Amino acid sequence: MEIEELKNMWQQYDRKLNNLEKLNKRLIMETISKKPKRNLSWIQVKIIYAIIATPLIYIIVFPHFFTIGNIDWQMIVGGILSIAVLIILMYFYIKGFITLIGIKVNDDTIVESFQRVCNYKSIITRRQKYLWISYPILLVGIVLIYRKTLTFDTRGFLFMTALLVFLYVVGYAKFRYQQNEIKVLEKELKELKEYLQS
């Protein structure tokens, strides 16, 4: 009888220990997964901000030049060029956002997570390549839209050159920052997956 009681007690303690171990693992998992989830959410928020802010910048910068009296072929071409750059930007922002939404921090395998992060990285790299071409197109569009207010002398030329250099510097700095964000996200996902496999 004593042996049976000891067996029952041992089984109860074993179940409690297993439950505590599962609870402990779940708590550790939640703690470890908070960082990549937070970083992923922050990147998504910034993309949503870019999706909203980019068209707003266009609306703020260009509206008074699209009055009936100002419309001519140069204005139309400038508007088409500027809107084409906007469409390209929006395409890459939306595609990147959809890719990031597909990352399920706790549910994906390490291969799936890294594949989606690599897809996002390639979207950013392609966007950067298109921006090297898009910035001069945008500048031509701005010149065509603002042609009546711009002066085409040395000062105007220097302003346009400075604007183009500024766009390239800001674009490259943003690209480098996003690459660093991706490296941090990859590192955190790797730590999480290593814990899951242990």
Three-state DSSP string of 133-156: HHHHHHHHHHHHHCCCCCCCCHHH
Return all residues near 163 (Cβ < 8 A) that are at least 6 apart: 139, 142
Taking a C-beta distance cutoff of 8 angstroms, is the pair 182, 122 a contact?
Answer: no
Q: Locate tokens 């703020």: which residue?
A: 60
Largest CA distance in the chain: 105
Q: In the structure encoding, which two tokens stand for residue 129, read together?
A: 């390549």
- What phi and psi values does residue 59 have, to the nearest 5 degrees? -65, -40
Q: Locate tokens 């701005």: which residue?
A: 142
Confidence grade of residue 33 (pLDDT, cut at 50, 70, 90)? low
Return all residues near 144 (Cβ < 8 A) that are at least 6 apart: 74, 75, 77, 78, 81
| CA pair distance 198, 191, nearest whole angstrom | 11
- What phi and psi values does residue 148 have, to the nearest 5 degrees? -75, -25
User: Which tens digit of pLDDT belongs to each residue from 40-62?
Assistant: 888 889 889 988 988 888 788 77
User: Which tens digit of pLDDT belongs to each residue from 112-151?
Assistant: 777 888 888 889 889 888 888 888 888 888 888 777 777 7
| pLDDT at 84 > cutoff 70 | yes
Identify the sign of the CA torsion 51, 91, 89, 138.
Answer: negative
Note the helical H segments in the chain.
2-61, 73-101, 110-145, 154-197
> pTM for this structure?
0.73
